[in-house]
Structure 1
Amino acid sequence: MRQLRYLPAVGSPYGVEVLSFQALRAMDTHRRRVRPQRPDFHVFALISSGTGAHEADFRGYRLAEGSAVWIRPGMVHRWTDIDACDGPLILFRSTFLAGLTASEAGAPAGWEVDQRRFGLALLAAEHLGREHDVAARSPRLASADVLSHLLSVLVLRALPAADAPIGRPSADQRCTEVFRAYRAAVEEHLTEWHHVSAYARALGYDVRTLTRATRAAAGTGAKTFLDERILLEAKRLLAHTDLPVGACARRLGFQDVGNFTTFFRRQAAVPPTAWRATYRYGRTLTA
């Protein structure tokens, strides 16, 4: 599995870069895009013309005019077929995106945007691209705030549930803040802490608060969210490495391979060895 680090092109300031699918194809003459890769940055794209296909974390997405794609850091994805696609492709660091609503927490890796909002999203992407070009050519006119806010507009216009305004007060905003803290802690400690109570202690909340906030933001309880995240990481290791099951278990913080097998079977309905074999066999047939 190829690990991708954020290395912006010369003239791409502030941790954001505006490209297109055409530019991606021109840079990737060896077609490495069709193989699994794991970026440490965000990839946000709109399909303005053509059709294609994309895969992210074991789920396939058809691409067509009106499609949106959002790859978050740590996702394993591959552009299975973008030879006929075009549209804006934005790369950015996690720290660059201005605060949004809870909507982005539940956004899938790919979805369809209705025609009216898609047109507005393309306009936002065009504006972002123009400001990005200005920043590259005329640094004195560059503004990180302008670029960040334009990126926020683009994402909010394209999100599946983009009707919640920035800065919504009271309980909603509080739940968003709590969930973001929990989500960040899970990303940092999922190989160490497998119980919600550990996160509650570290963050200074009780388990019920984390559960309410996670359900409001992600549509599921804190325990389910944590288990699903551990399961996803287990699937990534099984699918994209040759590590033995025992080594996968240890990397995820399971000291006993039997406990890991029990956890995986409970979550995925099959043992890890069977899941690995089925996934790789299926990929061989469809590759």
Structure 2
Amino acid sequence: MVTTGQLSPATSTDLSPAAFDADDITTGALGDLAPEAGWHRPVLLDADLLILVTGGHGSAELDFRPLPCRPGTLLRARPGQAMRCLGAHLDACVVRWGAGTLRGLDVDPDGVPAYQQLAGEDEDAVISEVTQLAVDADRHRGVPAARALLRHQLAVLLLRLTLLAAEERPAPRAERATFHRLCHEVERGFRHTRRVEDYAAQLGYSVRTLTRACLAVTGRSAKQVIDERVALQARRLLAATDEPIARIGHRLGFPEPTNFGRFFTREVGVSPGAFRAAREQPLPVRMVRPRPPADAPVPNGRA
């Protein structure tokens, strides 16, 4: 029987990519995500995650956005995001799933915000569902017939969290739908073009329409939204990998390192080299650009 209001520690599961199938659902502990003790620098995530903090106090950096964590904090993280947790006694249950896990189910994982602080009956309900999912994932590990059970348990959990978030933000508007379409196209094409005109042509909108949608949702222009997505990817690679700076710039559409350096410095406020040198320390606030409102998503880092 699952008791609401408390969460038993999750059985530790191998969360490494080699042990993970694209359709699997696994659960484990927060420490399983870190390549080494101490989270000396951010790691790039390789799967979708729900992280429910069960004990301790600390903070998480999700795509360089500092998030206070305490029991009842729920984080929604996505593949490719950079993450680091700080706090010696921060414990959490991690639910992890692959790209094909929810195929065919009427649920949108992107409806769950990156950060929620649960309380009261909502917290009890989520704890109950996460606990049961963790128990069943461990009990039926490797049993093909149990996949349907775990898939539907995860879908119910995500639907509950989506409904909780919808109660806290205004109903979608036409501008928000347009903005989401732009984010999708930017996610596919930011390595190849930063021109608003290119995305407008792909989507069948005018540049003015895209800019109006971005301003309505985030307070920033379409060009700023696109450039921030490129800068975010640069920060991820600089902080979580040892790839040479010039190669990172080339991958992001900058044949000349000097052009990449000027772009990064303009967007982030420090040079790529200085940003990388500071990656083993908690990111200073001055190095984080202002974020959109809590209900405004950004490409591949929706909050």
Calculate the TM-score normalised by the size of structure 1: 0.71
Aligned to 2:125: 120
Shift of 1:218: 5.1
Secondary structure in 2 matching 1:55: strand
For residue 55 of structure 2, give the secondary structure of its aligned residue in structure 1.
coil
More helix by share: 1
State the distance in 1 between where 2:126 and 2:219 align.
Answer: 26
Distance, in Å, in 1 between the alignment partners of 2:251 and 2:274 is 19
Write the letter of the residue equivalent to 1:147.
Q
Q: Distance in 2 between matches of 1:164 and 1:6?
A: 39
CA distance in 2, matches of 1:158, 1:82: 30
Other-structure match for 2:206: 206
Give the counterpart letter for 1:203 in structure 2: L
Alignment-mate amino acid for residue 112 of structure 1: Q
Q: Is the 8 A contact 1:124 1:154 kept in 2?
A: no
The alignment covers a number of residue pairs equal to 265
Matched letter for residue 231 of structure 1: A
Matched AA of 2:20: P
2:71 is aligned to: 65
Kindly indicate whether the alpha-carbon contact (under 8 Å) linking 2:40 and 2:281 is maintained by their aligned counterparts in 1: no
Instruction: Name the counterpart of 2:261.
Output: 261
- Tell me if structure 2 keeps the 8 A contact 1:200–1:210: yes
More displaced 10-residue stretch of structure 1: 236-245 or 182-191: 236-245
Q: 1:181 to 1:95 in 2, by over 3 A?
A: farther
Match of 1:8 among 16, 20, 27: 20
Point out where structure 1 has 5 or more consecutive residues left out of the alignment: none
Compute the displacement of 1:5 (Å).
3.7
**Contact between 2:101 and 2:151, CA under 8 Å: does it hold in 1?**
no
Residue type of the alignment partner of 2:238: L
Partner Cα distance (2:41, 2:68) in 1:
17
Q: Write the letter of the residue equivalent to 1:193.
A: T
Cα deviation, residue 146, structure 1? 2.5
Any stretches of 5+ residues in structure 2 without a counterpart? Answer: 1-14, 284-303
Change (3 A) 1:126 1:164: farther
Cα pair 1:103 1:217 within 8 Å, conserved? no
Aligned-residue offset at 1:44: 0.7
**Alignment identity in percent?**
26
The 2-side partners of 1:281 and 1:163 are apart by 35
Q: Equivalents in 1 of 2:69, 2:90: separation in Å?
A: 10
What is the CA–CA distance in structure 2 between the aligned matches of 1:281 and 1:164, rounded to whole Å? 35
Cross-structure match for 2:52: 46
Q: 1:65 to 1:240 in 2, by over 3 A?
A: closer
Aligned residue for 2:84?
78
Scaled by the length of structure 2, the TM-score of the pair is 0.68
Bigger relative CO (Cα 8 Å, ≥ 6 apart): 2
- For residue 44 of structure 1, what is the amino acid of its counterpart? L
Aligned to 1:36: 42
The answer for the alignment partner of 1:238 in structure 2 is: 238
**Cα distance between partner residues in 2 of 1:200 and 1:33:** 40
**Residues of 2 paired with 1:138 and 1:271: CA distance?**
50
Distance 1:140-1:52 versus aligned 2 partners, 3 A rule:
closer
